[in-house]
Structure 1
């Protein structure tokens, strides 16, 4: 597809960026380009890392690591959405094997045909390949992707050794919670320590939760009907829950994604106040509390009582 240059300042709605700074993308959208979220707020330092990797050709893998719900995958998909870059996205698990990524034979129109998997499609078409939760992947399976991460051709034995050479634009991106080091905290069960040779093929970018000011801007956009002091309290609540989660005192955390869900639901349920119900509490239960253990629900309610009264 035809390439196009995009102004970084205009495309990502950033202030203080020279207009002449540009990044390459594609001129037209295709079905695999992620949906654009107009309310998404980019963080300059993270966007800078991703665009630097992209402008240097993406010849090495990109590994985004950070706590659950910090926006790792969303950063990738929202950059791709604005640059019209197609993305093949897969969520890893302990039983995921290479053939699921490469492809398999299936009955098509009455005959057996080889159907490309998401990795093969990304390589043939020059798409970004995004593998979420990569630290759940069996290390032996991950190590089998070493050559692919750095741009080597893919060989498909089922098709007589067909060699798929990566098309221009193909890149390998991974996200995970533990930076491939395995779970030392007990917060992310099922994660596994990855092979060092595999990890050595990636740029590593750490994605934490947004700063308080950034989350204020996010909530102001997605739920403008909520008073500013309430939004401030919601962010203070989120920060306290995250602190307790990281300390191992809670089994759930309040990510930016959950915070946005809570804010939107609170705004939607505001009419409940006329019925004597608390919209904030009603929304919080459905956004977060109902997936916690009974003791944790009590703790979450106590934190809300302390912050909101």
Structure 2
């Protein structure tokens, strides 16, 4: 069993907390399943996530919010700083519970049972992240009910093997909905989930970053980007998000959004193409609007042109 270690919350996550507050993680920083640590600005939801890591109390934790708001990255960057290994699964409509538990496979001519991410996480004390859980068949997910409550995992197909949950095992899920389906129609494949499963989840809303926090992310990831250009890019991003979330005069006026991930890509490409006639416009097209329909592309570029003024035409500060 891996040795645990206490981490000072204020120092580990660079946040303001009362002196002496700690959270337990692992001492071994070499495990291959520990996420790669990247620059990250932690936000308000950190306290809820740490409370869950400290004591799950028979619950799982569902992080819900719009695409690109940083649901998975929040979990992974916390895990990276606590040396906590992660099993991450991208859910889809054909994913079955047996894929999570394990199955027999042919290896070097012999049939061997290979444990899946759920079994490994329970046995070793890893975090299990079910990304986009609301894409899965709710009938398959009901098999998680007892596991979430702390019951052993019984693998009947492997001779009735019993895996008792490690004290450090935690189950996370992310989704663009909170399990009740997607009334907006923006996310294809979203399914209404079983109420019995949802009753076992704590729910944490994750929104887009506040402008000052997001500017800090830009400055960390793209340090050579002029601050004023970064501020204007964030204004454009937030207007696109507002229309995507249906906060304009009409509901859901855009079917694409500009996530923090896309924002960073836009900033990086703007610097890459700084010799082009309109580097900011070209970078936005490469980052986002090349995959939109012509009407939405025109609308997004019009927003950016209005916000950025002369910078949009190529008179840049890059």
Judge same fold: TM > 0.5, yes or no: yes
Q: How does 1:97-246 map to 2 (within 5 A)?
A: 97-246=96-245
Match of 1:35 in 2: 36
Cα shift readout 1:192-244 (whole Å, capped 9, x = no counterpart): 11111101101110000011111111112112222222111101100110111
SS at match of 1:145: helix
Match of 2:61 in 1: 62
Question: Is the 8 Å Cα contact of residues 58 and 200 (structure 2) preserved in structure 1?
Answer: no
Match of 1:26 in 2: 26
Cα distance in 2, alignment partners of residues 167 and 291 from structure 1: 44
For structure 1, the residue ranges without an aligned partner over 5 or more in a row are none
Cα distance in 1, alignment partners of residues 215 and 193 from structure 2: 36
Question: Is the 8 Å Cα contact of residues 266 and 283 (structure 2) preserved in structure 1?
Answer: yes
Cα distance in 2, alignment partners of residues 240 and 25 from structure 1: 39
Cα distance in 2, alignment partners of residues 176 and 150 from structure 1: 21
Match of 1:258 in 2: 262
Cα distance in 2, alignment partners of residues 189 and 203 from structure 1: 24
Question: Is the 8 Å Cα contact of residues 67 and 176 (structure 2) preserved in structure 1?
Answer: yes
**1:286 pairs with 2:286:** yes
TM-score (norm 1): 0.95
What is the number of equivalent residue pairs in this alignment? 302
Residues 188 and 154 of structure 1: CA distance in aligned 2, closer, same or farther (over 3 Å): same
SS at match of 1:89: strand
SS at match of 2:104: strand
Question: Is the 8 Å Cα contact of residues 60 and 201 (structure 2) preserved in structure 1?
Answer: yes
Cα shift readout 1:57-105 (whole Å, capped 9, x = no counterpart): 4631011000000000000000000000000000111111111111111
Cα distance in 1, alignment partners of residues 219 and 151 from structure 2: 45
Match of 2:249 in 1: none
Task: Report the alpha carbon displacement of residue 138 of structure 1 after superposing the two structures with TM.
Answer: 0.8
More moved, 150-159 vs 232-241: 150-159
Task: Report the alpha carbon displacement of residue 283 of structure 1 after superposing the two structures with TM.
Answer: 1.2
Cα distance in 2, alignment partners of residues 131 and 155 from structure 1: 20
Question: Is the 8 Å Cα contact of residues 35 and 76 (structure 2) preserved in structure 1?
Answer: yes
Cα distance in 2, alignment partners of residues 48 and 266 from structure 1: 35
Cα distance in 2, alignment partners of residues 133 and 230 from structure 1: 33
SS at match of 1:144: helix
Task: Report the alpha carbon displacement of residue 263 of structure 1 after superposing the two structures with TM.
Answer: 1.4
Cα distance in 2, alignment partners of residues 56 and 117 from structure 1: 24
Task: Report the alpha carbon displacement of residue 268 of structure 1 after superposing the two structures with TM.
Answer: 2.6
Task: Report the alpha carbon displacement of residue 266 of structure 1 after superposing the two structures with TM.
Answer: 1.6
Match of 2:312 in 1: none
Match of 1:79 in 2: 78
TM-score (norm 2): 0.92
Question: Is the 8 Å Cα contact of residues 60 and 201 (structure 1) preserved in structure 2?
Answer: yes
Question: Is the 8 Å Cα contact of residues 182 and 190 (structure 2) preserved in structure 1?
Answer: yes
Question: Is the 8 Å Cα contact of residues 71 and 209 (structure 1) preserved in structure 2?
Answer: yes
SS at match of 2:45: helix
